[in-house]
Amino acid sequence: MEKYAHSLLERGWTETVEEDLERMNGGKLGRPFVFTGKMIEWGNRLKHALGISYRLARGFLNHFLREKGLRGISLTQFYDRCREVSAVGGADGRVLASGPCDVEVSEAPISVAIDSTGMSLNKYGGWMSYHWNMKPVTGWIKLHAAVDPDTNRILAYAVTDERCGDIACFDGLMDDVFSAGHRVGKVLADAAYDSKAIWNEYTARGIDVAINIRNSQLNKNVPDYPGRIRSHGCVPRGREMARILKIGRDEWKKEKGYNRRWKAECTFSDGKRLFGDTLSSRKLETDVEETVMKVLLLNEYKQIRMRCQRSE
């Protein structure tokens, strides 16, 4: 945590202000930039990492600007510039934002654990709801993630509202993992992702698929005579169902390494302990931006933690 705090307070941007402004204003029409992108990124990271307001983060930024003899930034301009640097892409239908994370690519094939978690929306206080007649805020933002269980770092993310099912984001997450250059040897997921299309597609790619299968599905696919099971057009899934019936679910999980899927839950838990499970924004677009920013900060924290463990 101390190393992470040092990285948040690192102010290398103060040494390259003139060069950055010259580069940003080269060929620019209209009013020139006065504040560099690195300044704004530093303040924005501090705001989301500490869970403070834009006003307080601007106060930190202005303190260091004036320490260097530079003019301070107004709250409105700081807010607008933060929105620019934290703007997210990848919106597609029900998916509000998605994309791969900047994680170094391993030479060996990796395992990928797919899961999702909910982020609570900011709720108004009782007095504000009563006095201003504000409607209560309900629902949540869902964060879908592909996690490397060896490092607990998020490889790809997708942000949706609570109405989007888990299975709808599976292919998008895996496509982002592949586009980043990662080689996947195994996919781990819970029963929410149990689909014949997923089993067939990723087994055909040479990937070991370990998705939990509900007991209700096992019972439905067992015929009247023992020793046989109906695959219903999905041979890989039928093979695993037969294996579960033969050796038991607990032994099957050990055999497939399915228990490592819980590393995704650990990653979500670490993020919520660091940044909380409630979003501080009051608009949907800023809720999405805040969620993505917390994903990037969590990966940064994980990377620092890995370096500390290696040095020890």
Find the range with the poorest average confidence among 17-21, 172-176, 227-231, 294-298: 227-231
**H helices within the chain, ranges in order?**
2-9, 17-24, 37-50, 54-67, 75-85, 126-131, 170-179, 196-204, 215-220, 235-247, 249-256, 262-275, 284-311
Rounded distance between C-alpha atoms, residue 181 and residue 107, angstroms: 10
Which residue, among 116, 98, 124, 253, has the nearest Cα to 177 in the 3D structure? Answer: 98
**Which homologous superfamily is 95-311 in?**
Ribonuclease H-like superfamily/Ribonuclease H (3.30.420.10)
Residue of higher predicted confidence among 92 and 40: 40
Question: For the chain, which residues make up each domain, given as ranges?
Answer: 2-85, 95-311
Q: Which amino acid is at 174?
A: M
CB atoms under 10 Å from CB of 200, counted, come to 16
Q: Does an H or E element contain 155, and which?
A: strand 153-161
Confidence grade of residue 88 (pLDDT, cut at 50, 70, 90): confident
Which residue, among 217, 233, 198, has the nearest Cα to 112 in the 3D structure? Answer: 198
pLDDT of residue 181: 94
Burial group, residue 142, by CB count within 10 angstroms (0-12, 13-18, 19+): buried
Q: Per residue in 69-104, is it b (16+ CB within 10 Å) or e — as a string?
A: ebebbeeeebbebbeebbebebeeeebbbbbbbebe
Contacts of 151 (CB under 8 A, 6+ apart): 103, 302, 306
Contacts of 95 (CB under 8 A, 6+ apart): 158, 159, 160, 164, 169, 172
Find the range with the poorest average confidence among 10-24, 64-78, 115-129: 115-129
pLDDT of residue 223: 62
Contacts of 41 (CB under 8 A, 6+ apart): 13, 85
Q: What is the pLDDT of residues 185-243, one digit of tens each?
A: 999 999 999 999 999 999 999 999 999 988 888 777 666 555 567 777 888 998 898 88
Q: What is the pLDDT of residues 253-310, one digit of tens each?
A: 999 999 999 999 999 999 999 998 888 877 888 889 999 999 999 999 999 988 888 7
C-alpha radius of gyration, the chain, whole number: 23
**Residue count of the chain:** 312
Which residue, among 304, 293, 305, 264, has the nearest Cα to 50 in the 3D structure? Answer: 293
